[in-house]
């Protein structure tokens, strides 16, 4: 059995109870198949040029996006193959296979205990967690501070959704854990990297910090991560009630309460400004932005390979003045089971046609 069944169990949990039109600002699932095969071929070229198939995750982690982002790419890769025109499928089959297996292997190496985040996203080893717990400059959390951290998460998360839209969110927002401590408490790391993508947005929209990390320890709270880190689900006490201590850093420097308040205001304001800009875009500009956002995810990988990360002329030609595809994925349908998910997104087809 390939990794697809394990992947499918986790990915379906993300989409159960949702409808596709919930993703904004574009119907991604009917947009990506117009051009995704060309992007997959370029990723395959970069992997081959750098001989990355022979290298372990730890050797190349600095040129890769966060683990949740790699899972999201796998999801879009499989669904785009399912929706591709028949004449393209055979031509790019080897590229799809190479890229899919590459990211699946990296996830197994980077998060071996739960590679596809069925319930967790264990990106750090036990020794790494022990070191963090010991060396972090902790603040004691009360209800007021816990609410402040909640507002910060909401503000930065909203800003990230503007920078990268709903399906590239994970390039700017991941969460690692939950890690169970000997004290019967749990430790969660919320990671907001890539907050200054100057290649995508003018300087006035960018954050003052490139990276925000929020460390939290909870008691009486149960946390699960469903496929991607921004989908962290809590049970038991609320995170506000159960937070015992926290620490926040910006670009590796610890922050005090006043600075956190300033960041909340900054991210809230800039998120609003970005959303205003997106709403003003016409359809052609919106398609171009979404394609550029998607390609930007692997900029570091392409830079290392000496390949321009930006959309090619052929990719741009595929979408220029073209409507979105229609009636491939159902609108208005709530996905209830893993079997429904596999049928709708062509999971079994991908396993049989590409991986076997």
pLDDT digits (tens, 9 = 90+) for 143-185: 999 999 999 999 999 999 999 998 899 999 999 999 999 889 9
User: Is residue 120 assigned to a domain?
Assistant: no
- Same domain for 190 and 250: yes
Note whether 44 and 182 are same-domain residues: no
In tens, the pLDDT along 63-122 reads 999 999 999 999 999 999 999 876 667 789 999 999 999 999 999 999 999 999 999 999
308 and 268 within one domain? no
The per-residue b/e assignment along 278-295, b for 16 or more CB within 10 angstroms, e otherwise, is beeeeeeebbebbbbbbb
Residues 186 and 310 in one domain: no
Question: 3-class secondary structure for 132-149?
Answer: HHHHCCCEECCHHHHHHH
- Closest-CA residue to 278 (of 286, 270, 287, 268): 286
Residues 197 and 80 grouped into a single domain: no
Q: Do 81 and 100 reside in the same domain of the chain?
A: yes
Q: Which of 234, 255, 279 is the last residue of a domain?
A: 279
Q: Is residue 121 part of a domain?
A: no
Residues 95 and 148 occupy one common structural domain: no
Same-domain check for residues 248 and 131 = yes
Which class for 11: exposed (0-12), middle (13-18), buried (19 or more C-beta within 10 A)?
A: buried
Give helix then strand counts, H and E, for the chain: 15, 8
327-336 residue pLDDT tens: 898 888 888 9
| Domain termination residue (choose one: 245, 279, 313) | 279
Does residue 74 belong to any structural domain of this protein?
A: yes
| Same domain (yes/no): 60, 168 | no
Query: Coil, strand, or helix at residue 220?
Result: coil
> Does residue 192 lie in a domain region?
yes
What is the DSSP-derived secondary structure letter of residue 351?
Answer: I
Mean pLDDT score, 37-60: 97
Is the separation of the CB atoms in 95 and 148 below 8 Å? no
What confidence score (pLDDT) does residue 15 get?
A: 85
Q: What are phi and psi of 115, to 5 degrees?
A: -60, -30
Look up residue 308 and give its two tokens.
């321009």
Least confident of 19-23, 132-136, 351-355: 19-23
Domain coverage including residue 228: 126-279
Q: How far apart are CA 102 and CA 285, in angstroms?
A: 32
Q: Is the distance from CB of 211 to CB of 155 less than 8 angstroms?
A: no
- Number of separate domains in the chain: 2
- For residue 54, being part of any structural domain is answered with yes
Q: Which of 237, 254, 279 is the last residue of a domain?
A: 279
Shared domain check, 274 and 290:
no
CA–CA dist 44, 38 (Å, integer): 10
């Amino acid at each position: 059995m390939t990794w697809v069944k394990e992947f499918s169990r986790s990915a379906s949990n993300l989409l159960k109870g949702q409808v596709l039109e919930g993703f904004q600002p574009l119907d991604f699932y009917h947009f990506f198949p117009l051009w995704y095969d060309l992007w997959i071929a370029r990723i395959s070229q970069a992997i081959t040029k750098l001989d990355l198939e022979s290298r372990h995750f730890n050797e190349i982690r600095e040129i890769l996006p966060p683990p949740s982002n790699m899972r999201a790419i796998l999801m879009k890769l499989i669904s785009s193959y399912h929706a591709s025109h028949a004449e393209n499928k055979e031509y790019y089959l080897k590229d799809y296979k190479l890229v899919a297996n590459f990211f699946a292997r990296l996830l197994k190496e980077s998060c071996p205990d739960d590679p596809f985040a069925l319930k967790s996203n264990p990106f750090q080893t036990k020794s790494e967690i022990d070191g963090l717990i010991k060396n972090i400059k902790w603040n004691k959390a009360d209800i007021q501070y816990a609410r402040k951290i909640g507002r910060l998460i909401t503000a930065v998360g909203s800003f990230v959704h503007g920078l990268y839209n709903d399906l590239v969110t994970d390039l700017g927002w991941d969460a690692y854990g939950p890690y169970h401590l000997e004290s019967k408490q749990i430790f969660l790391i919320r990671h907001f990297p890539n907050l200054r993508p100057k290649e995508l947005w003018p300087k006035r929209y960018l954050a003052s910090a490139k990276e925000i990390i929020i460390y939290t320890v909870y008691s009486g709270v149960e946390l699960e991560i469903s496929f991607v880190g921004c989908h962290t689900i809590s049970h038991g006490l609320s995170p506000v009630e159960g937070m015992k201590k926290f620490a926040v850093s910006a670009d590796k420097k610890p922050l005090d309460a006043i600075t956190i308040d300033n960041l909340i205001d900054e991210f809230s304001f800039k998120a609003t400004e970005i959303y205003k800009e997106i709403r003003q875009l016409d359809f052609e500009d919106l398609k171009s932005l979404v394609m550029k956002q998607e390609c930007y995810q692997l900029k570091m990988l392409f830079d290392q390979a000496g390949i321009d990360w930006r959309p090619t002329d052929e990719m741009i030609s595929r979408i220029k003045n073209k409507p979105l595809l229609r009636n491939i994925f159902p609108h208005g349908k709530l996905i209830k089971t893993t079997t429904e998910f596999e049928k709708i997104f062509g999971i079994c087809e991908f396993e049989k046609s590409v991986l076997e």
